Structure 1
Amino acid sequence: MFSLIQMECFVAVAEELHFGEAAARLQMTQPPLSRQIQQLERELDTQLFVRTSRRVVLTEAGRVLLPHARQLLDLADRAAADTKAVGLGAEGSLSIAYTAMAGRSILPAIVKLVNKHLPGVRLNLTERITADQLDEIERGTVDIGLLHPQLNRPTITERTLLTEDMLVAVHTSSPHAASAEPIRLDALAREPLLMYQPKTARYFHDLAMLALQRAGIEPRISQYAGQIPVLLSLANAGLGFAIVPASARHFLPEDVRLRPIDFEGMQVKPVQSTLSLAWNAGTTNPVVFRFLDVLEEDVAQEHSLIRATQLI
């Protein structure tokens, strides 16, 4: 079977119609060039050039071979370029899983970042709760997770993307709804609380309980729900108040207001929510590392991702 070197030599001679000029173009001497052409003719069992002391002419077989040879060389170049691009992380696929809150807050900025700096990368996006994201990252079915921090997965690497305040969601009928002043949680001690399901929303359940604990409140829980939009809907129905992250404003119903919590007035440390970016420490997908580099550069320059977090 002929080689790419033989095809390259054949195309050079066919286009130059001169062995000396073809050899110079390929940065080689004429004898090895002639040997490559001879070997190619033996391989194909046909004459490709008519050689005289004064000129070189393509045979009919040579004219048939020329466009195919050009296509083969072009295909080889594109295969090498595509392979190199994938190896450098400039092309390929990146699967990103995200929580419902991340989907409304940071995900759009990340998608824009990838489309701008890694246009050859195909994104696969899927919504998952944090626990499911961690399982899929460990299995390798998800490359990047946008989730709440976990400390019990040694195979997973995390970095903080953003930190946001926890706020109180109250119905417009509440006397606290009209005031812009921070609310002391102990002022809500007698009101029903809408709480996160501890199994499906453990992270926010624990944050809400921590805030109540710091305020010295024994909560009067009226309803449980696993998702923030559902808690807000229940608050909209007048069933109680909820403690939610600042990004909950993306889901805010018409008759619900968000108010800051007066941790300073209670003389306790504020409770904040953290969103992390996670990936498998043993990943072999080069796109992951290229994405992390792009993310690092963007954060360092305070571009789109930082502006997005400031909107939360």
Structure 2
Amino acid sequence: MNTVQLECFLAVAEYLNFSKAANSLKITQPAVSHQITSLEDELGSRLFIRTSKNVSLTEAGLMFIEDASSIIKIASGAKKRLRSDACNLLYLTIGCHNQSELNLLPPIISRLVKHFPTLHPSVKLIPFKSMANLLEEERIHVMFGFQYDDQKKPIGIYHELGGLNVCCVCPANHPFTGRTTLCAEDLVGPLVLCDPQRLPQPILQSQIRISSSCHPSELYFVDSYESILAMVKAGLGCSLLPAYPRCAQDGLVYIPVEDLSPIHFGMYYKSLKGNPVLKEFIRLMDTEGGF
């Protein structure tokens, strides 16, 4: 039994005429007849008496009107509620490149959901270039990123959050432990390097410059930001990374490299028009992001 059968039954019961019922439902008369026949077969009872001149309800048909009406009302109410809920749902898809950027989100998303109870946030962890394509295609609403002066094509509207100091990240038992600052020329010895797409260009350029004086046996290449931290924590060497707020991990020491300029860090988005959730997300990042 389905709502189409029931709607056909109620229309025929109202008009007592298959042609008029079909017109009211905007379907063909044979389609109405088929639905009534299949409903009668399913119920195991005749609902109408059909003659060449008229149509009348059987006793079973008369009794079934109330049941059919109730089922239609319940189904219609459920559809309206679901459509209403679906229309009220809000979405925000955020692009991140690494775990440190992910760590910025929990307190912000928590506040955002309190402000927009129907919000369904989503987070994507993707390399920078691929994520820029998603933003261009509007498959994400906002992405974290670094600002570069040599961008050939604008990624979107840039909103700065703050400057991130460049730090030497090393294990707690490293010879640098205890230093409050370092210079780039101090960074000798084993070095952990990463896939170019995973790090901002200024850090990548500094790593290339520093690693040029290292012996090949002192260089460890990994393919993700998280792998850098794992290899450094394992004691294989140190690395250069941007110092995100709340990024420090147990077992690691973060020492600012004073002769490397802070890196401009913020968010890219396409438009704020008609998107109050994105506006509030940006406001919260400005006021509570820790920058």
TM-score category (smaller protein): 0.5 to 0.7
How many positions carry a matched residue from both structures? 231
Match of 1:192 in 2: 190
Write the distance in 2 (CA, Å) between the matches of 1:116 and 1:163: 29
Q: Note if contact 2:199-2:225 (Cα within 8 Å) is conserved in structure 1.
A: no
CA offset at residue 156 of structure 1? 2.3
How many angstroms apart in 2 are the aligned matches of 1:261 and 1:118? Answer: 41
Local SS of the residue matching 1:247 = coil
Q: Give the TM-score normalised by the residue count of structure 1.
A: 0.56
Q: How far apart, CA to CA, are the structure 2 residues paired with 1:83 and 1:225?
A: 43
**2:165: which partner in 1?**
165
Instruction: Name the aligned partner's letter for residue 262 of structure 1.
Output: E
RMSD: 4.2
Gap change, CA 1:84 and 1:257, over 3 Å in 2: closer
Give 1:292's aligned residue.
278
Distance 1:123 1:67 in 2: 38
Match of 1:280 in 2: 270
1:60 aligns with none
SS of residue matched to 1:177:
coil
Distance 1:160 1:102, change over 3 A: farther
Pairwise CA distance, 1:242: 0.9
Name the SS of the counterpart of 2:290 in structure 1: helix
Residue by residue over 1:1-43, the C-alpha shift from the partner in whole angstroms, topping out at 9 and shown as x without a partner, is xxxxxxxxxxxxxxxxxxxxxxxxxxxxxxxxxxxxxxxxxxx
Q: What is the CA-CA distance between 1:115 and the residue it aligns to?
A: 0.5
Normalising by structure 2, what TM-score? 0.60
Residue 29 of structure 2 is matched in structure 1 by: none
User: For 1:136-161, what per-residue CA distance to the aligned partner results, in whole angstroms no more than 9, with x for missing partners?
Assistant: 12223222222334634436222123
Q: How does 1:176-215 map to 2 (within 5 A)?
A: 176-179=176-179, 181-188=180-187, 190-198=188-196, 200-203=197-200, 206-210=202-206
Say if 1:164 and 1:246, in contact at 8 Å, map to a contact too.
Answer: yes
Identify the residue that residue 143 of structure 1 maps to in structure 2: 141
Distance 1:271 1:130, change over 3 A: same
Unaligned 5+ residue runs, structure 2?
A: 1-13, 16-65
CA shift in 2, pair 1:113/1:161, >3 Å: farther
Q: Percent identity?
A: 13
Which of 100-109 and 125-134 deviates more? 100-109
Cα displacement (A) at 1:81: 6.9
Q: Distance in 1 between matches of 2:192 and 2:94?
A: 30
Letter in 1 for 2:222: A
| Cα-to-partner distance string for 1:260-312 (whole Å, 9 max, x where unaligned) | 2233xxxxxx422343222234x98x4xx212321354467x3xxx2x425xx
